[in-house]
């Protein structure tokens, strides 16, 4: 990977974006969005750049270079699509049909393929203080069938609905350069700049399809490993109320603790401990929002003996205090 520098609007003096504006921009990108908290619509949620450029043939480009100012959750329904999401900087937390994912650029830019062959619920968490830069290129099933008819069938075979996986890899140097070119455009309404964005977006689609094929080849050689980790995740999901003992779990699934930890991070992108903590916090949040549990009750459900530690972890994950969620 070459020197990873990219164009950025910066944040000082950048436009402040409230919930209504974020909703309008999401709708311009082809999907309806709503917030978990009604008060979020009138609240300043981000500062920076958030743009959607839509082309009539079924191609769209979503550019984000901003700092999140408040914690909240957006809830949307995505139509069938193929999207390549390039996270160049920061962290992104979201759920597809209640399955949680987290992308982080700490080890360098990441590319994720969202292959949705049927309408899919998308929940996105905004976290106060989180800064992120990303480019999201989307094509419709019709666009894919018209431009890549031979690849289309193989692509849909990897859809999220069939595999429950989110293909993830490090973007190529060409993909990184194309995303940086898109970020460098300062007026996407101008015709020539729209054409430039479209050219770079098409390059990203081509690089994304190539990266997806390489990812599939890697998965075919490591499919057994991925299956074993999926089984471990299923076990962990069913035992969130019990202490995490990787030695015992490794023995149950026929691998050493070090092998379990290495495979788990390779497949899921995070250590097993982080996975369990995230799942427990998601459970606690559900208890707060849906069942009106107290902060102390939610803390114990998440495995914390002290509410203070729970509150700190909750703020890191969701960008707000659990008490404010309960009272919203």
Res 105: pLDDT: 87
Q: What whole-number distance in Å separates Cα of residue 239 and Cα of residue 41? A: 37
Res 220: pLDDT: 64
Q: What whole-number distance in Å separates Cα of residue 148 and Cα of residue 262? A: 36
Res 118: pLDDT: 94
State both tokens at 34: 């709503």
H-helix segments, the chain: 19-28, 141-147, 149-156, 160-163, 173-184, 191-221, 223-237, 246-252, 257-268, 272-291, 295-301, 307-318, 322-326
Enumerate residue ranges in the chain where pLDDT < 70.
Answer: 1-14, 29-30, 219-223, 326-328
Res 180: pLDDT: 94
Res 134: pLDDT: 95
pTM of the model: 0.66
Res 125: pLDDT: 86
Res 210: pLDDT: 92
């Amino acid at each position: 990977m070459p020197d990873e520098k990219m164009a950025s609007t910066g944040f000082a003096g950048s436009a402040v974006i409230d919930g209504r504006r974020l909703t309008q921009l999401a709708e311009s990108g082809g999907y309806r969005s709503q917030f978990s908290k009604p008060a979020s619509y009138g609240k300043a949620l981000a500062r920076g750049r958030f743009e959607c450029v839509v082309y009539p043939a079924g191609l769209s480009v979503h550019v984000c270079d901003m700092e999140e100012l408040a914690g909240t959750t957006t809830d949307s329904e995505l139509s069938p699509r193929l999207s390549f999401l390039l996270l160049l900087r920061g962290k992104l937390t979201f759920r597809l049909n209640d399955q949680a994912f987290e992308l982080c650029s700490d080890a360098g830019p990441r590319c994720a393929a969202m292959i949705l062959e049927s309408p899919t619920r998308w929940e996105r968490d905004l976290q106060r203080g989180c800064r992120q830069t990303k480019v999201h290129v989307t094509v419709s099933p019709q666009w894919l069938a018209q431009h890549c008819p031979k690849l289309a069938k193989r692509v849909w075979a990897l859809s999220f609905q069939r595999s429950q996986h989110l293909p993830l890899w490090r973007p190529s140097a060409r993909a990184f350069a194309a995303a940086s070119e898109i970020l460098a455009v300062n007026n996407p309404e101008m015709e020539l700049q729209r054409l430039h964005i479209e050219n770079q977006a098409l390059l990203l689609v081509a690089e994304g399809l190539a990266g997806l094929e390489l990812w599939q080849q890697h998965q075919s050689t490591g499919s057994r490993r991925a299956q074993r980790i999926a089984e471990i995740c299923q076990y962990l999901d069913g035992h969130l109320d019990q202490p995490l003992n990787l030695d015992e779990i490794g023995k149950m699934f026929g691998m050493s603790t070090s092998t379990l930890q290495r495979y788990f991070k390779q497949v899921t992108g995070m250590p097993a401990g982080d996975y369990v903590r995230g799942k427990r916090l998601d459970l606690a949040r559900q208890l707060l929002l849906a069942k009106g549990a107290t902060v102390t009750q939610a803390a114990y459900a998440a495995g914390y003996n002290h509410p203070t530690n729970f509150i700190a972890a909750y703020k890191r994950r969701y960008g707000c205090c659990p008490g404010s969620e309960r009272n919203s």
